[in-house]
Amino acid sequence: MEDVTDTVFRRIVREAGAPDVVVTEFTSTDGLCTEGRPRVINRLRFAADEHPIVAQIWGNVPERYLRVGAEVREMGFDGLDINMGCPVRKITSRGACGALINNPSLAGELIAAAKEGAGSLPVSVKTRIGIVRSKAEEWLGFLLAQWISALTVHGRTVAQQSDGQADWSTVALAVRLRDQAGLPTRIIGNGDVKTAADFLRRAQETGADGIMIGRGIFENLFLFGAVRGARDGAVSPPPQFSRLERTEKIAYFRRHLALHRETWGRAKNFDVLKKFVKTYVRAFEGAGKLVEAVMRTRTYEEAECVLNEWAEAWMKEGKSA
């Protein structure tokens, strides 16, 4: 979720239907501890109304985990999560994230250093189930033996990237291993949850303590609200962003643009915003052309101008109907 789950998008999501916990973009411990810090530290920026919020970090130098663990605690985060699952080659080639699955000794050192630095702050791990083939039982058992507060299992190997179906039996496996060992670690499942029905089914079949949702929020900005309603037994249909009027969808996009400008100004490249266009501009006639028009913009002002032109055209269309 690099350049995606920043404080701006997290706040938009909370307004649409707040999840129980939010997690930051994954943040390099190397970047935080070197000359790149002024740029990287922005990944850990958060607002007062975002709690509970967990900082996610990555890297492969224990001493830097110790230092960053202490800093995250002092910054006021509610937890510290270690990314041991990112499959991006430029990351794994450095021996970090998903590559740690084949280096348990270093993984153990990193967890110990993070726990020492974080003090009383809960430390968790998010991981996959193997590099090329699953080694779920061995790897998940090892992580549980580190006495972490939570373990998030994404049921794919590193080699799978986002392809194929996530193997949720490995989440159930983690629950069994945890219970057999009598550990307090919370097990969280992750992968391909796109609807409230997906959430309920996966929670029931695995016995997981929680479900992490990432990409599913791009298909329905109201997904967390839908999940909350389903979990609490609501009888009304789950909210769907696609059912909004086009002007309401664009209002959410305008809100994102304004909040991004207010928060980051010129500190972030405007093009980062283009990752979100299809989240809002979708499921109405002409949406594809509007997406193309927004993608050609280079500034907040240009994007607003495009949205205004389309809004005016819609008004004229309504008057002539």
Domain ranges of the chain: 7-241, 244-320
Q: Compute, in degrees rounded to 10, the torsion defined by CA atoms 27, 30, 32, 33.
A: 160
* Model pLDDT, residue 321: 42
**Fold for domain 7-241?**
TIM Barrel (3.20.20)
pLDDT tens digit sequence for 188-210: 999 999 999 999 999 999 999 99
Q: Is 86 designated active site?
A: yes
Reading phi first (left if > 0) and then psi (alpha if -120 to 50, else beta), residue 95 is in left
- Facing residues of 134 across strands? 130
Question: What is this structure's pTM?
Answer: 0.94
Q: CA-CA distance, 210 to 168, in Å (whole number)?
A: 13
Query: Could you tell me where the DSSP H helices lie in 267-299?
Result: 277-280, 287-295
Q: Amino acid letter at 255?
A: R
Q: Is 49 exposed, middle or buried (CB count within 10 Å of its CB: 0-12, 13-18, 19+)?
A: exposed
pLDDT bucket at 276, cuts 50 / 70 / 90: very high
Q: Stretch 278-307: mean pLDDT, rounded?
A: 95
* Model pLDDT, residue 319: 55
Q: Angle 119-125-128 (CA atoms, 0-180°, nearest 5)?
A: 170
Asked whether the predicted pLDDT for residue 320 surpasses 70, the reply is no
* Model pLDDT, residue 41: 95
